[in-house]
Amino acid sequence: MKQRQIGADGAWVSELGLGCMGMSAFYGSYDDETSTRTLLRALDLGITHFDSAFLYGYGHNEELIGKAIGSRRDEFFLATKFAHRQQPGGERVIDSSGDWARQSADDALQRLGFDHIDLFYMHRRNPATPIEDTVAGLASLVEAGKVRYIGLSEVNPATLRAAHAVHPIAAVQMEYSLFTRDIESELIPACRELGVAIVAYSPVGRGMLTGALSADTLADNDFRRNLPRFTGENLDHNTALVAALTEVATEIGCTPAQAALAWLLAQGDDILPIPGTKRIPHLEENTAAANVVLTPAHLAALESTASAVAGERNTEAALRTTYL
């Protein structure tokens, strides 16, 4: 698989990565045996960029990765995230302080069984904490050799610039897909000015762009049941858009998920999609998107099918913690 660079002076990784969230949380049931086979298959397919976070099962995902592929540590680039913190009573809060960054890194390394984290992100920002404090804490981890590069997730251009002034930011992780393009106007230009990579999470619209989802296919405990785009009339509207996208993908000679990923790859060499899956067939389908060649006419046709998405990308409560 072709390689792309994480930031202006960062590591080179596979142009398509693997988001591991669904192996531990949010998307219905999962099991470690299936996930382990998928992680190993990803390495064999040439994927070298794996994305995790404490929030994904409150540490379970990091433990899974360490056990499943830790013996092949020199073959992959591991990104994980901190900031979510579980209180004694079970309440989840966002702590983006430098002290919590340092503690979280130590805890993550213990769960992983690794001696360093390749890319350590602030998962979400608490506006009460100056971003300079957060980045100072992350920078101290780089100095200590516990972290190679630092990143931010769901930040706005002003926060990125303030952070980058303290220590170089290698990557910003944001939701980005044919169905979610709001970062194109301001954040992507800011990233490009500073030499910061854009890691695109939910690149197939949380599964909607696969063309295989409906209200009936979502498990009762799948968090997408609470997302505006996956409910009521919004879901009906968006399903029709995906049907149109599927027709375009068929003309191209690929699946709708592959078309969506190929579209993202065509947006620039600094865009690194991390489609998530817990099953090998989906992994292999996603990986094959790297071989899809899109013409300007294909790109325009795909964009036209997704020009009027109905519903917000997340819940109102979750959106209050994004783009800060």
Per the domain annotation, does 198 fall within a domain?
Answer: yes
Per the domain annotation, does 324 fall within a domain?
Answer: no
> Residues 7, 196: contact at Cβ < 8 Å?
yes
Per the domain annotation, does 99 fall within a domain?
Answer: yes
> Residues 119, 79: contact at Cβ < 8 Å?
yes
Per the domain annotation, does 289 fall within a domain?
Answer: yes
Per the domain annotation, does 107 fall within a domain?
Answer: yes
Per the domain annotation, does 178 fall within a domain?
Answer: yes
Per the domain annotation, does 108 fall within a domain?
Answer: yes
> Residues 164, 136: contact at Cβ < 8 Å?
no
Distance of CA 281 to the CA centre of its chain: 20
Can you tell me the distance from the alpha carbon of 32 to that of 65, in angstroms, rounded to the nearest whole number? 10
Distances (CA, A) of 134 to 2, 91, 145, 188: 33, 22, 17, 22
Range of the domain at 108: 3-319
Tell me the CATH number at 176: 3.20.20.100
Written as one string, the DSSP assignment of 90-105 is S-EEE---HHHHHHHH
Per the domain annotation, does 175 fall within a domain?
Answer: yes
Can you tell me the distance from the alpha carbon of 306 to that of 241, in angstroms, rounded to the nearest whole number? 6
Strand positions, DSSP E, 111-209: 117-122, 147-153, 171-175, 197-201
How many CA atoms, within 13 angstroms, populate the side-chain half-sphere of residue 124? 14
Which residue numbers are catalytic? 56
pLDDT of residue 220: 77
Return the structure tokens found at 97.
């302080």
Can you tell me the distance from the alpha carbon of 321 to that of 127, in angstroms, rounded to the nearest whole number? 9
Go through the chain and tell me how many residues it has.
324
Q: Tally the domains of the chain.
A: 1
What tens-digit pLDDT sequence spans the chain (324 residues)? Answer: 999 999 999 999 999 999 999 999 887 789 999 999 999 999 999 999 999 999 999 999 999 999 999 999 999 999 999 999 988 877 889 999 999 999 999 999 999 999 999 999 999 999 999 999 999 999 999 999 999 999 999 999 999 999 999 999 999 999 999 999 999 999 999 999 999 999 999 999 988 899 877 667 777 778 788 888 988 899 999 999 999 999 999 999 999 999 999 999 999 999 999 999 999 999 999 999 999 999 999 999 999 998 889 999 998 989 999 999
Phi, psi of 20 (to 5 degrees): -105, 5
Can you tell me the distance from the alpha carbon of 10 to that of 58, in angstroms, rounded to the nearest whole number? 28
Strand positions, DSSP E, 143-251: 147-153, 171-175, 197-201
- Who contacts 163 (Cβ-Cβ below 8 Å, separation ≥6)? 131, 132, 134, 135, 152, 155, 169
pLDDT of residue 215: 65
pLDDT of residue 89: 79
State the Cα angle at 239 between 275 and 261, rounded to 5°.
25
Best CA proximity match to 117, nearest among 92, 144, 86: 144
